[in-house]
């Protein structure tokens, strides 16, 4: 911990020293711009290796490699200003700068959101948001600062890449900060913002032929990577869940991408051509995400149905039945009745023939009951050998249905070459809007069973 603190103080002091020397001496200097400047970058690299409070090692390694790649590119860029080196050294430096971005893309979610597993859908949502906002940034922010190299495709490619990558980094870090604002994510987002602003300032100065090595604005890159690394030294509580992307932002990204594509089709050349790739990618990912959402909605619907369905008989279960009963009890103006049915002699059959035969008997009983009910009725298995039914109609009609249900069991069931006979006791109660319909029906059913009456209504034997 002592060495980590020393490195943080050293990096801050070296950066302050470089800023002061730049402020008082604007001319390019080998000691200041090559050695001192890159000494800050090297110190930040060692901080990323030794001074972070990170439990995710992949995130730490990715951050360290990102800082190493950027520092390597900085050293090569500075060296080409003071020494005569082959032209490909500049390209190698840009390659190192490029490697900085994918490494940070890997590091950011692991460093800022510890303890949360990212699903495939989270990745798709993040990609839609990043690509959509990058398209907007490319259309309005990048073109004015792009360097106009006459025919130099390589430099133009790197300029476009850095600008778009900065926008993606900004989008990711700011999204995480909005979703989970704390000192760690805030400092990280501030570092990325300063780094991106320095990049855009560099592009603008280069586009207008005003850039030269050693400008005080170059210290923005150092300050950015220093803040990024210092952010990882702050403790972060482990969290269990996090809503990464607000659906409103995703919808906004898709809408803006579609708008840009429409404008580009109506006014060719109005926006730079390279925005087409992220724009179309955003829309394609959005369509793909929509198919996933539809499948998820269907799956959730199926799960809800299964949660309210009896596995054995396929009838609605007790949860569904109680929900329907609560609804119908609040509408006493609609004539209806509640029936509770309990099988007679089921337990001895189950004990004699086994659970498989007992289960098959319950399935066949439920089929007979279903066929005997009028349309619009609800039949449910409440548990064990008990069933419930909600029937629309007046008292006389619902009593007839109760007797018909009892009659369906008057002839035996053929199961595994055995003829099995079972009876049923039915409790009947009219819906009068009272909250105790189920209790009254239960009492009526036990009255029918105890007195072997078949059907009993709360208003008397039937």
- What is the rounded end-to-end Cα distance, in angstroms, of the chain? 86
CA distances from 38 to 30, 94, 216, 219 (A): 11, 16, 14, 11
Residue 149: is its pLDDT beyond 50? no
Listed in sequence order, the DSSP H helices in 51-152 are 57-82, 88-112, 120-137
Q: Are 44 and 226 in contact (CB under 8 A)?
A: yes
Bridge partners (DSSP) of residue 428 are 339, 457
Q: Are 365 and 409 in contact (CB under 8 A)?
A: yes
Smallest CA-to-CA distance from 26 within 194, 214, 185, 201 is with 214
Q: What is the DSSP letter of 115?
A: T
Rg of the Cα atoms in the chain: 37
Give pLDDT, residue 236. 60
Task: Choose the weakest-confidence range: 32-36, 245-249, 420-424.
Answer: 245-249
Q: What are the structure tokens assigned to 187, written together?
A: 């400092």
Smallest CA-to-CA distance from 197 within 238, 166, 176, 234 is with 166
**Which secondary structure element, helix H or strand E, spans residue 427, and what is its range?**
strand 423-430
Smallest CA-to-CA distance from 144 within 159, 165, 127, 157 is with 159
Give pLDDT, residue 135. 72
352-395 pLDDT, tens digit per residue, is 888 899 999 999 999 999 999 998 899 999 888 999 999 998 98
Q: What is the DSSP letter of 31?
A: I
Top-ranked range on mean pLDDT: pick from 130-134, 142-146, 191-195, 279-283: 191-195
Q: In the predicted model, what is the mean pLDDT of residues 83-97?
A: 87
39-78 pLDDT, tens digit per residue, is 999 999 998 888 666 667 888 888 999 999 999 999 999 9
Q: In the predicted model, what is the mean pLDDT of residues 127-142?
A: 68
Percentage of the chain surpassing pLDDT 90?
Answer: 28
In the 3-class helix/strand/coil scheme, how is 273-320 assigned residue by residue?
HHHHHHHHHHHHHHHHHHHHHHHHHHHHHHHHHHHCECCCCCCECHHH
Q: Are 162 and 204 in contact (CB under 8 A)?
A: no
3-state secondary structure of 419: strand
301-332 pLDDT, tens digit per residue, is 655 655 668 888 888 888 888 888 888 888 77
Task: Choose the weakest-confidence range: 53-62, 179-188, 247-256, 397-406.
Answer: 247-256
3-state secondary structure of 101: helix
Going by pLDDT thresholds of 50, 70 and 90, the confidence category of residue 436 is: confident
Q: Are 11 and 36 in contact (CB under 8 A)?
A: no
The C-alpha torsion from 215 through 219 and 222 to 228, rounded to 10°, is: -140
Q: In the predicted model, what is the mean pLDDT of residues 158-174?
A: 79
**Distance of alpha carbon 178 from alpha carbon 175, whole angstroms:** 5
Going by pLDDT thresholds of 50, 70 and 90, the confidence category of residue 147 is: very low
User: ∠ CA(23), CA(72), CA(57), 5° rounding?
Assistant: 110
Give pLDDT, residue 272. 65
Half-sphere exposure (Cβ direction) of 387: Cα atoms closer than 13 Å: 29
Residue 238: is its pLDDT beyond 70? no
Higher pLDDT, 52 or 231: 231
Mean pLDDT across the chain: 82
Top-ranked range on mean pLDDT: pick from 135-144, 261-270, 285-294, 414-423: 414-423
240-297 pLDDT, tens digit per residue, is 444 556 677 677 777 777 777 777 777 776 666 666 777 787 788 778 877 877 776 6
Q: In the predicted model, what is the mean pLDDT of residues 3-27?
A: 87
Give pLDDT, residue 242. 47
**Distance of alpha carbon 344 from alpha carbon 242, whole angstroms:** 53
Give pLDDT, residue 334. 80
Task: Choose the weakest-confidence range: 132-141, 193-202, 203-212.
Answer: 132-141
Instruction: Give DSSP secondary structure letters for 354-414.
Output: -HHHHHHHHHHHHHHHHHHSPTT-EEEEEETTEEEEEEES-HHHHHHHHHHHHHTTSS-EE
Q: What are the structure tokens assigned to 384, written together?
A: 């064990």
Going by pLDDT thresholds of 50, 70 and 90, the confidence category of residue 119 is: low
Give pLDDT, residue 116. 53
Beta-sheet pairing, 423-430 with 378-383: unpaired
Residue 343 — left, alpha, or beta (φ > 0 → left; ψ -120 to 50 → alpha)? beta
Going by pLDDT thresholds of 50, 70 and 90, the confidence category of residue 4 is: confident
Q: In the predicted model, what is the mean pLDDT of residues 135-149?
A: 59
Smallest CA-to-CA distance from 214 within 39, 36, 16, 41 is with 36
Residue 99: is its pLDDT beyond 80? yes
Higher pLDDT, 296 or 349: 349
Residue 115: is its pLDDT beyond 60? no
Residue 117: is its pLDDT beyond 60? no
Handedness of CA 16, 18, 24, 26 (dihedral sign): negative
Task: Choose the weakest-confidence range: 11-15, 119-123, 231-235, 349-353.
Answer: 119-123
Q: Are 390 and 377 in contact (CB under 8 A)?
A: yes
Task: Choose the weakest-confidence range: 90-104, 196-210, 394-408.
Answer: 196-210
Q: Are 377 and 392 in contact (CB under 8 A)?
A: yes
Give pLDDT, residue 240. 46
Residue 204: is its pLDDT beyond 50? yes
**Distance of alpha carbon 228 from alpha carbon 241, whole angstroms:** 24
Instruction: Give DSSP secondary structure letters for 221-264.
Output: HHHHHHHHHHHTTS-----S----S-HHHHHHHHHHHHHHHHHH
Task: Choose the weakest-confidence range: 54-58, 87-91, 190-194, 407-411.
Answer: 54-58
Q: What are the structure tokens assigned to 122, written together?
A: 């989270």
**Distance of alpha carbon 188 from alpha carbon 203, whole angstroms:** 23
């Amino acid at each position: 911990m002592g060495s980590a603190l020393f490195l943080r103080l050293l990096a801050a002091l070296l950066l302050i020293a470089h800023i002061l020397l730049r402020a008082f001496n604007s001319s390019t200097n080998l000691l200041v711009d090559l050695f001192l400047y890159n000494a800050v970058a090297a110190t930040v690299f060692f901080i990323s290796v030794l001074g972070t409070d990170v439990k995710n090692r992949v995130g730490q390694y990715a951050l360290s490699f990102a800082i190493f790649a950027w520092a390597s590119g900085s050293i090569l860029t500075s060296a080409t200003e003071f020494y005569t080196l082959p032209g490909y050294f500049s390209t190698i430096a840009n390659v190192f700068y490029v490697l900085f971005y994918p490494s940070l893309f890997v590091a950011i979610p692991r460093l800022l959101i510890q303890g949360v597993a990212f699903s495939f859908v989270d990745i798709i949502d993040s990609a839609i948001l990043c690509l959509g906002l990058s398209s907007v940034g490319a259309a309005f922010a990048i073109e004015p600062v792009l360097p106009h190299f006459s025919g130099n495709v390589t430099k133009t490619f790197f300029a476009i890449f850095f600008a778009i990558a900065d926008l993606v980094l900004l989008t990711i870090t700011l999204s995480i900060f909005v979703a989970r604002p704390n000192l760690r994510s805030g400092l990280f987002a501030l570092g990325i913002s300063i780094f991106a602003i320095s990049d855009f300032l560099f592009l603008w100065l280069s586009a207008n032929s005003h850039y030269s090595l050693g400008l005080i604005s170059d210290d923005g890159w150092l300050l950015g990577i220093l803040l990024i690394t210092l952010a990882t030294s702050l403790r972060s509580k482990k969290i269990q869940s996090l809503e990464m992307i607000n659906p409103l932002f995703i919808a906004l990204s898709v809408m803006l991408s579609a708008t840009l594509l429409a404008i580009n089709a109506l006014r060719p050349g109005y926006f730079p051509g390279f925005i087409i790739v992220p724009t179309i990618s955003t829309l394609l990912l959005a369509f793909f995400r929509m198919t996933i959402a539809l499948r998820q909605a269907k799956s959730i619907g199926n799960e809800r149905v299964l949660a309210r369905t009896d596995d054995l008989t396929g009838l609605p279960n007790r949860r569904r039945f109680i929900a329907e009963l609560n609804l119908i009890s609040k509408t006493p103006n609609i004539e209806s009745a509640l029936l509770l049915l309990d099988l007679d002699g089921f337990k001895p059959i189950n004990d004699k023939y086994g659970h498989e035969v007992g289960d098959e008997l319950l399935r066949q009983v439920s089929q007979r009951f279903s066929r005997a009910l009028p349309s619009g009725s609800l039949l449910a298995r409440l548990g064990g050998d008990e069933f419930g039914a909600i029937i629309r109609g007046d008292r006389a009609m619902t009593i007839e249905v109760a007797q018909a249900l009892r009659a369906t069991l008057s002839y035996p069931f053929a199961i595994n070459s055995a003829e099995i006979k079972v009876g049923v006791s039915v409790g009947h109660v009219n819906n009068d809007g009272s909250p105790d319909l189920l209790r009254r029906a239960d009492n009526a059913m036990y009255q029918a069973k105890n007195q072997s009456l078949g059907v009993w209504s709360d208003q008397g034997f039937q």
